[in-house]
Structure 1
Amino acid sequence: MVGSLDEEILRIRLIDSANEKLSELLKAFHHHFPCQLVHLFRYSIFDQRIDGIFSCDQGMIKAIPQWHDDARTIPFLYDALQLKKVVHLEGESFQIRLSSKYTLNEPVENMIVLPIIVNDVIVAFICAINTNFEFNNEMSRYLQGFGEQMKQLLHVEQVPSASRAVTLSEKELRVMQYTANGFTTKEIASFLNIAESTVKYFINNVMTKTSSRNRTEAVANLYRASLLI
């Protein structure tokens, strides 16, 4: 399993588009870690917001940008994310806490939550539903390794030493993640329930910290510094 996954990782490494890389990585996860359904979400520790990116069902990718939620309203998921490691959920306790919002037509027997961590901050996570493999310590290491590969593949450029020193607040990071995803200042203000002027203030701060001439250059510098996914 490891060899063939390594080959796929090498192939995906050659893809230029970040979104195409994400979709191919999700397909690879679904293939090598068999499950009924797998979702990829962005995550913010600032406001505990989760935003859908892609889902993969039987090898078919579907964009899920309409999926937005507060992780705190899904206790089993919120608790799993706080651990910052691969978590396997099953059993009676899991069933009791399972939100009907995230159930399928078929029963949800188990779930794996795999966080993607950059600079000790969870920026995204994979949620695999009804897995068809035994979860043990070895499998946990494989899954954790996949998460590391995923993070590295999205930030393959070498980072200048000055860029590594960039430190963003969680508010700045959240605003820039939305900016990188193509949302306008007005939309970001609405998502975060803050004023448009506050959004601009955060963006200007980041431009100063990254020595960028505009927000586009700031986003590029943050990708190089592995601060965005």
Structure 2
Amino acid sequence: MLNESTIHEYISNLNKASTHEEKLNLCTKGLLELFPIQEVHLFRYSPLGNIAEGILKINSSGLHYIGHVRDDLRNLPPIYSSLRKRRAMYISNEEFFEKYGSKYTNPNEKNDHFIIPICFSSTPVGYFIGRELPRNFTCDEKLLSFLTLYGKLVGKIIESNKEGQSIGKLSKRESEVMQRISCGESIKEMTKSMGISEYTVKDYIKSAIKKLEVNNRVEAVAELLRRGSIS
């Protein structure tokens, strides 16, 4: 039977993941394992500009990257409201389609949804969309509270891991990505040449910018050139 201890135990096991991407995959799969959900979409979110970007989705057919999805959440009231309240929300398929359109759901399907904020220190940093719920499913406040807790624990473990990274010194992969950027290679080209996802490339860039204490990738490349770290 699902309870808070079960959720805490599952999240604590995410520390065993060897990479950030593996941790994201496992926390997304956790919703399928612990809750009555058969498909999950994971998005990152920036409060600056209220922009959401797709990362991945997992369902019965496997894992799929959804980096092509990008939205201003102010145009998507149910998700925006859930993130502002930092509380999981249940929404019917009819209402979901009315607010979102066909990009996210099919109006001919009976497919209700969960919106699950991912928060760190009370700040929303992403969210899950859980769909393909069982027939005759009934949602209650207890389940929503468990989903809210899950999102908070995921945010804490993912973001705290990023905070623990050293400042100034780039990892081998981060340096490689920045070197490729300086040579004019695009993110899509790097996904093929390095054999990693588009999200992972973006994560390396974001991490490098943070460690170098600059504002964007152009400044990051300039700083690395100044240091002689790349050529």
The TM-score with structure 2 as length reference comes to 0.62
CA 1:155–1:47: 2 relative to 1, 3 Å? closer
8 Å contact from structure 1 (residues 27, 59) kept in 2: no
CA 1:97–1:119: 2 relative to 1, 3 Å? same
Larger radius of gyration between Structure 1 and Structure 2: 2
- Identity of aligned pairs, percent? 22
Alignment coverage as a number of residue pairs: 179
1:123 aligns with 2:129: no
CA 1:106–1:33: 2 relative to 1, 3 Å? farther
Letter in 1 for 2:213: M
After the TM superposition, which residues 157-196 of structure 1 pair with which residues of structure 2 at under 5 Å, given as runs? none
CA 1:5–1:120: 2 relative to 1, 3 Å? closer
| Deviation, structure 1 residue 124 | 0.3
1:198 is matched with none
1:144 is matched with 148
**20-29 or 75-84, which moves further after superposition?**
75-84
**How big is each residue's C-alpha offset from its partner over 1:126-151, in whole Å with a ceiling of 9 and x where there is no partner?**
11123335321211121112112212
8 Å contact from structure 2 (residues 120, 159) kept in 1: no
Secondary structure of the residue that 1:34 maps to in structure 2?
coil
Supply the RMSD in Å over aligned alpha carbons.
3.7
Tell me the distance in 2 between the aligned counterparts of 1:49 and 1:207. Answer: 22
8 Å contact from structure 2 (residues 119, 156) kept in 1: no
8 Å contact from structure 1 (residues 113, 128) kept in 2: yes
CA 1:136–1:54: 2 relative to 1, 3 Å? same
1:134 aligns with 2:134: no
1:200 is matched with none
| Deviation, structure 1 residue 33 | 1.3
After the TM superposition, which residues 20-39 of structure 1 pair with which residues of structure 2 at under 5 Å, given as runs? 20-39=22-41
Flag as ranges the 4+ runs of structure 1 deviating above 4 A: 3-7, 91-95, 155-160, 182-188, 203-206
| Deviation, structure 1 residue 121 | 2.1
Tell me the distance in 1 between the aligned counterparts of 2:93 and 2:68. Answer: 30
Q: Mark the runs of 5 or more structure 1 residues left unpaired by the alignment.
A: 164-178, 189-202, 209-213, 217-229
After the TM superposition, which residues 89-100 of structure 1 pair with which residues of structure 2 at under 5 Å, given as runs? 89-90=91-92, 93-100=95-102
